[in-house]
Amino acid sequence: MKDRIGFIGLGSMGSGMAANLLAKGRPLTVFAHRSREALERLVKDGATEAATPRDLALASDVVILCVTGSPQVEQVLKGADGLLAADKALFIIDCSTSNPAITAQLAAELGEGSILIDAPLARTPKEAAEGALDVMVGGSAETVARARPILEAFAARIIHTGPTGSGHTMKLLNNFLSMGYATIYSEALALGAKAGLTPQVFDSVIRGSRMDCGFYQAFFEFVLNRNPNAQRFAMVNALKDMSYLASFAQSASIANPIGAAVRNSFATAVATGHGEEFVPALSDVVAGLNGVSLTSPAPLAD
């Protein structure tokens, strides 16, 4: 008999993941605060809607969370009518991007019989819909083995990173690299524009070189073609993740000046009103703050 799955968080990633679970024949109960369109589509395809996280827990053996971060995870677990209010043993898989220290703390606080593992995601909503995500899983070998058949419904790669919390740590490092690239690309483009080098010239040198990569190509799909959905990850979430990284570095007594610089780039974007725009738009923010444009010919430097 297959585990009954509860799914909370039907945003751009979660909706595709939940659809794949349903398509693979998993009994699915869903709950959403805001994503009514995705929820109604899933219900039409055979899912059941829960009125509260507590009700979802009562109907489920395994609960998958795909929410914004640690505060939202804590609210779903401990809030009024939260999962823990069901007072039953649950196997909880947290696919959010959360603070590793809080993840470990929550796992330790669960009642007897309940287990929480972290399984954050890499790649994009496109891969979520295709069932081709990368998943980094923190937990014991036994719990990861239990989770694997469920995760395989929406993942192409499943990497066991170590104990609970290590998945979220690896996810922060993954996002540090990607947001670091975004920050470097943005600053390089602004410097180039100031010197009269267009994004097209920049791309003609980098594309196909050793500096090319999938992240670069998605970022430049926005820069060159103005595709607003090239990388659907809001800058306010990038700032959240880089803030988690800063907290982790501080707790580990690790100097991380590059991480601080990356965080400050996104903090500037959010503070100037661009938080809900997607990450590649950082290039326009940095260019604008430096008095240049990436969409019109840049003046030649004197």
Catalytic residues: 171
Helix (H) or strand (E) holding 301: none
- Cβ contacts of residue 195 below 8 Å, gap of 6+? 298, 300, 301
CA of residue 227 relative to chain centroid, distance: 20
Helix then strand count (H, E) for the chain reads 13, 9
DSSP-derived secondary structure for 183-232: HHHHHHHHHHHHTT--HHHHHHHHTTSTT--HHHHHHHHHHHH--TTSS-
Q: Which amino acid is at 10?
A: L
Query: Which among 191, 259, 181, 238 is positioned nearest to 214, based on CA atoms?
Result: 181
- Going by DSSP bridges, is the β-strand pair 155-162/133-138 parallel, antiparallel, or unpaired? parallel
- As a whole number of angstroms, the distance between CA 172 and CA 62 comes to 25
Query: What Å distances lie between residue 190 and 103, 291, 293, CA to CA?
Result: 38, 9, 8
Helix or strand (DSSP H, E) at 157: strand 155-162
Q: Is the CB of residue 254 less than 8 Å from the CB of residue 169?
A: no
- Whether the Cβ atoms of residue 154 and residue 128 lie closer than 8 Å to each other: yes
Q: What is the DSSP letter of 32?
A: -
